[in-house]
A and B are shown apart, each in its own frame.
Chain A
Amino acid sequence: MSRRAQENLVALVVLGVFIVAIVMAFDYGQRARMVPLPIALIGVVLTLWQLVWQNIRPADELNIDLLEVLTRREGEAVARNVSSNFDEQSAHQKRQAAGRESVACGMVLLLLGLVWVIGLLPGVFLFMLGYFLLSDHYSLPRALSYSLGLVVALYLLFVQGLGIALYHGWLEEWIRNL
């Protein structure tokens, strides 16, 4: 997918969020929607403006917008040429980057799943140990000691020091209910 298509997709999703916010606001009383409704309307106008603008500009200027042109804002945008760089990347590089993004996303979701099922500290321990071993960065003894060290530190700080009762996981609850 080209950078422009991705930018358009993101803008359409944001536009959808604003439209949903407007539709939902009509269910609320006049005072409850007094601020959210106009704010969401402003959001729709801004996003439509952005959508139109990013489709009438050349691909290498996707991150310059009408406001910047009107105010003649100086300075370098963070990644002004990101779109042209993106389109210059080879298909292999794009696939590789997308793959790493998917893994990053999956990794965070995996940690969430582990925490949800077996609890915070066991989940964190398993995740760290697995990460260290799969990334091949540390040997098993070092991976074990680092994971254990961090979990012990978290336990001492949050449970012993701050007196916070940590989540024990769905599994423990399920076993208790058996």
Chain B
Amino acid sequence: MIDAIVAGLAALMTPQAMVFMFIGVIYGLVIGILPGLGGVVAMALLLPFTHGFEVAATLALLLGAHIATIWGSSVTGILFNVPGAAKSLTSCFDGYPMTKQGQATRALGASATGALLGGILGAIFLAVSIPLVRPIMLALGPSEYLMMALWGLTIIATFSEGSLMKGLIASVLGILIAFIGMDPVTATPRYTFDILYLMEGISFPVAMIGLFAVAEMMKLYVKGGSIVDRQMTEERSTVWQGVRDAFVHRWLIVRSSLLGVWIGVLPGVGATVGGLAAYAQAVQTSKTPERFGKGAVEGVIAPDATVGANEGGGLMPTLAFGIPGGEGMAILLVAFIGLGVVPGPDMLTKNLDLVFSMVWIIVIANIFVTIIGLGVAPYLARLPALHANLMVPAVLAVCFVGAYATRGQIEDVAMAVAFGILGYLMDKYHYSRANLVIGMVLAIMIERNLHLSLTLYGSDFLLERPVAAAMLAFIIVTTALPFVRRWWKRRKLAAAGGRA
């Protein structure tokens, strides 16, 4: 194994591989920052340029771009409340409040360092767990995936803007919106009103561009001025504060990274669920959960560490079984075929050096991203201070083109506008937009795995699948924990007051 680790690194130490990785990282950062275009688009657009080069260099280009989009899409979430991709939705929850408090540079530094440490820990966990993970992966079925999705849903109970009840209503609305289109189980068109465009369903990036970007620009226009009034709130933080925050919360990063690897290993779960679950565990394990949603730096660090580590985990099923862990890994699988690499159990025995090359790419690309990120963060942090008269038309223009670019349909632009108006109204009347997106993301996963569980194990599938039952118990305990802790704190305070 040591030989494979060294050989994997040596394959990357060529000028071509290093230059390709650097180009991939810069390209990924730009694509990540553009709303609607995430890692999948970044890799898909690079595919035609991957023929005729060294295998390691090609993988460095693809994976480097994919990894850079993680931080790139968090940047817009933190600065403008506009997540660049669904997986960075959670960066808005605390990153944007930090920006409004003059802590944007710190948030960007914490995000970059969180993603770096998550990426490195994820790669290490992956390298160590290669022999262990295979039997675990094979033991899990749809019932366990259903529980994973339900875990992501528990975040709604712990995070709602303004009103818990309205937060729940928003998430129910999001779940129903996700059902628009062709039902994947029965092929029944649902809630399509016989409109051909709706058969494909609502695109997540388009909905997010509308709900966050368009709605935020409408809000900014109504408010006037700029997102952050520098005369009122001076930017007084530094990237080093963010770096320090990440190391202070090192155990949160370790937990989040483990979660990221675990979610990455599970085929089809994806980084979006990972980010949500990471945020939920950060809230649930915090001693001061009430700070979350108002600018808690842990709320920025945990999801980025998870999404960073998720890439390493996602490689596992892709390489070992040819089952992509997510959409990004599906593109990588296509690249493998083009390069003549055959994924399968042999990858973990005969081609182990190539596997470790990819582990090293994750580590080195994350280092590149963090160095660049920490360098440009102070300049990026100035963007929210730009006046609304420049920001509103410019951001709207980029959003409209971005919405069109996701699927090449003009109807998507109209849909982004509809979601923009919906997002503005939701924000005005305190129906959580984040909860709506969480509902949308998790709905399909819940429905598909529920159907599969019922088909495979019958209506009492929880009795048939003890691991799923244990996961359900874990979800109930972790969801109830903040309430129980608060109740206990109040009781102690009341007892202390009574004694005084």
Binding site for B on A (CB under 8 A): 6-7, 10, 14, 17-18, 21, 24-25, 28-29, 31-32, 34-36, 39-40, 42-43, 46-47, 49-50, 53, 63-68, 71-80, 82, 97, 100-101, 103-105, 107-109, 111-112, 115-116, 120-121, 123-124, 127-128, 131-132, 135, 137-138, 146, 150-151, 154, 157-158, 162-167
Contacts and interface: CB of A to CB of B under 8 A. Distances in A.
B221 A14 contact: no
B31 to A, nearest CB: 8
B290 A75 contact: yes
Looking at chain A's contact residues, the main secondary structure is helix
Contact of B389 (A40, A72, A131): A131
Interface in B275-305: 290, 294
B397 A163 contact: no
A47 B169 contact: yes
Given A35-B447, A35-B450, A21 B162 contact: no
A158 B221 CA distance: 26
A53 to B, nearest CB: 7
B214 interface: yes
Nearest to B394: A150
Given A66-B165, A108-B214, A115 B413 contact: yes
B432 to A, nearest CB: 9
Contacts of A71: 164, 483
A68 B401 contact: no
19 contacts: A7-B429, A14-B169, A14-B173, A28-B183, A29-B188, A32-B188, A34-B450, A35-B179, A39-B176, A67-B164, A71-B164, A76-B294, A78-B162, A104-B221, A105-B421, A108-B417, A162-B45, A164-B405, A167-B413
Interface string B404-437: 1100101001100100110011000111000000
A112 B340 CA distance: 45
B90 to A, nearest CB: 17
Q: Which 6 A-B pairs have the closest CB atoms?
A: A75-B290, A65-B165, A137-B389, A43-B172, A32-B188, A67-B164
Of B41, B185, B186, B222, chain A has the most CB atoms within 10 Å of the CB of: B222
Nearest to A31: B186
A71 B157 CA distance: 11
Contacts of B165: 46, 49-50, 53, 65-68
B26 to A, nearest CB: 12
Nearest to B219: A104
Of A21, A35, A77, A163, chain B has the most CB atoms within 10 Å of the CB of: A35
B25 to A, nearest CB: 16
A10 B172 contact: no
A78 B490 CA distance: 23
B404 A77 contact: no
B446 A35 contact: yes
B162 A162 contact: no
A28 B401 CA distance: 36
B329 interface: no
Given A100-B222, A124-B397, A128-B397, A108 B420 contact: yes
A164 B408 contact: yes
Interface of B: 30, 34, 37, 41, 45, 161-166, 168-169, 172-173, 175-176, 179, 183, 185-186, 188, 190-191, 214, 217-219, 221-222, 224, 290, 294, 387, 389-390, 392-394, 396-398, 400-401, 404-405, 408, 410, 413-414, 417, 420-421, 424-425, 429-431, 443, 446-447, 450-451, 483, 486-487, 490
Given A31-B451, A128-B397, A138-B389, 5 more contacts: A43-B176, A108-B218, A108-B421, A112-B400, A123-B400
Contacts of B401: 120-121, 124, 154, 158, 166
Contacts of A10: 425, 429, 431
Contacts of B164: 65, 67-68, 71, 73
Given A49-B165, A108-B421, A131-B393, A166 B404 contact: yes
Contact of A112 (B224, B405, B413, B451): B413
A63 B188 contact: no
Contact of A100 (B221, B396, B404): B221
Nearest to A97: B222
Contacts of A32: 183, 185-186, 188, 190
A167 B410 contact: yes
A158 B405 contact: yes
A157 B429 CA distance: 37
B30 to A, nearest CB: 8
Contacts of B183: 28, 32
B176 A21 contact: yes
Contacts of A121: 401
Contacts of A79: 162, 430
A84 to B, nearest CB: 14
B153 to A, nearest CB: 12
A7 to B, nearest CB: 6
A176 to B, nearest CB: 16
Contacts of B414: 112, 116
Contacts of B191: 21, 24, 36
Contacts of A124: 397, 400-401
B161 A43 contact: no
Contacts of B490: 72
